[in-house]
């Protein structure tokens, strides 16, 4: 198990978007009204469904998250990082990658299941949670001022797709991992009422995920860095936590755009040892 990675600062904020053809503006990717104010491409042509982010200066990037999107089950994406806006000598070009990766192990499927061989997500799987596309650099990160995102979703029946939020992060990874006892929470939003006769009536609403996590072996340097980031984000700005970067199968289940909730206490509980416990709630709307 690889140590958890926090994305606590969105490097896309303050950047400039360009490229493609978008009927709802690219700048909406930085608005936390994920469904009310998304970016929307004009068509599914590759020339229309791409965009470029200029971060203003070269940045060190560990991960890119395309959050709250409406890409279809067969969609693919490719990322290109460059120091120049013409991308003539890119620092990194990824392969065309499935937006929805393998999410099942062989023991979770029956022979008759249509996705038995590859363990790929089915439509009901991608409708279960907010759709997030997560890219992590396989090494220590990549540098670049410009990021090009190309998306191939030619089979999307809507004729377009939305992107709710773009998160580009360097990542914060403490030397010691979180403590045992991490909780993945199901937070229902369905409204329940009862008629005079006792019949229960439900109005189904999308549930929200949550996480409770504690880091109890932090150095003072790590604790102060974390305190700075938490102060900057407050309870308003989104963060993104990947508990286990090696667990690609469960990453889309356990990782989601979220906010820090409640009070946060960073405590020095022993000589040169600090700890913090955090509660995170998913952004869904």
pLDDT tens track for 204-230: 999 999 999 999 999 999 999 999 999
Give the up-direction half-sphere exposure of residue 38: CA atoms within 13 A in the CB hemisphere: 18
Distance CA 12, CA 193 (A): 43
List helix spans (H) across 64-169. 123-126
For residue 118, the model assigns a pLDDT of 64
pTM above 0.75, yes or no: yes
Task: Report which DSSP code applies to 4.
Answer: P
Q: Is the pLDDT of residue 123 over 90?
A: no
Q: What mean pLDDT do residues 101-116 have?
A: 72
CA angle 160, 165, 168 (to 5 degrees): 120
pLDDT over 80 at 114, yes or no: no
70-77: average pLDDT: 96
Read off φ and ψ for residue 253, nearest 5 degrees: -80, -40
In the prediction, which pLDDT does 170 show?
96
Q: What is the arithmetic mean of pLDDT over 267-278?
A: 96
* CATH 2.60.120.260 in the chain, residue ranges: 5-169
Between residues 126 and 231, the one the model is more confident about: 231
Chain-centroid distance of CA 68 in Å reads 8
Tell me the Ramachandran region of residue 141: left when phi exceeds 0, alpha when psi lies from -120 to 50, beta otherwise: left
Distance CA(37)–CA(27), nearest Å, equals: 10
Longest dimension (CA), the chain: 71
Structure confidence at residue 109 (pLDDT): 67
CATH class, range 5-169? mainly beta
Mean pLDDT score, 263-281: 95
With tokens 């979703």, the residue in question is 153
Residue 277 predicted with pLDDT over 90:
yes
- The burial of 68, by beta-carbon neighbours within 10 Å (0-12 exposed, 13-18 middle, 19 or more buried), is given as buried
Q: Strand 22-24's sheet: what is its strand order?
A: 22-24, 39-41, 162-163
The helix (run of H) or strand (run of E) holding residue 254 is: helix 251-254
Q: Mean pLDDT across the stretch 96-123?
A: 76
Check pLDDT > 80 for residue 35.
yes
* Residue 102, pLDDT above cutoff 80: no
């Amino acid at each position: 198990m690889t140590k958890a990675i926090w994305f606590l600062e969105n490097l896309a904020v303050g950047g400039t978007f360009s490229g493609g053809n978008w009927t709802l503006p690219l700048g909406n990717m930085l608005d936390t009204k994920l469904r009310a104010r998304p970016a929307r491409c004009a068509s599914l042509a590759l020339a229309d469904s791409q965009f470029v982010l200029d971060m203003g200066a070269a940045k060190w990037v560990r991960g890119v998250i395309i959050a709250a999107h409406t890409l279809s089950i067969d969609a693919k994406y490719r990322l290109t990082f460059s120091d120049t806006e013409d991308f003539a000598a890119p620092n990194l070009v990824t392969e065309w990658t499935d937006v929805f990766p393998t999410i099942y192990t062989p023991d979770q499927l029956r022979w008759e299941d249509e996705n038995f061989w590859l363990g790929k997500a089915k439509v009901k799987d991608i409708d279960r949670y907010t759709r997030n596309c997560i890219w992590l650099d396989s090494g220590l990160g990549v540098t670049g001022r410009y990021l090009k995102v190309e998306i191939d979703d030619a089979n999307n029946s809507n004729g377009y797709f939305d992107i709710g939020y773009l998160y580009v992060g360097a990542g914060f990874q403490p030397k010691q991992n979180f403590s045992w006892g991490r909780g993945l929470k199901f937070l229902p939003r369905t409204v329940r009422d009862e008629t005079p006769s006792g019949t229960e009536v439900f109005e189904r609403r999308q549930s929200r995920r949550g996480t409770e996590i504690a880091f109890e072996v932090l150095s003072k340097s790590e604790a102060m860095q974390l305190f700075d980031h938490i102060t900057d984000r407050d309870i308003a700005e989104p963060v993104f936590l990947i508990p286990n970067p090696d667990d690609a199968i469960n990453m889309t289940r356990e990782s989601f755009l979220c906010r820090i909730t409640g009070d946060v206490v960073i405590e020095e509980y022993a000589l040169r040892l600090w700890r913090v416990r955090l509660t995170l709630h998913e952004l869904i709307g």
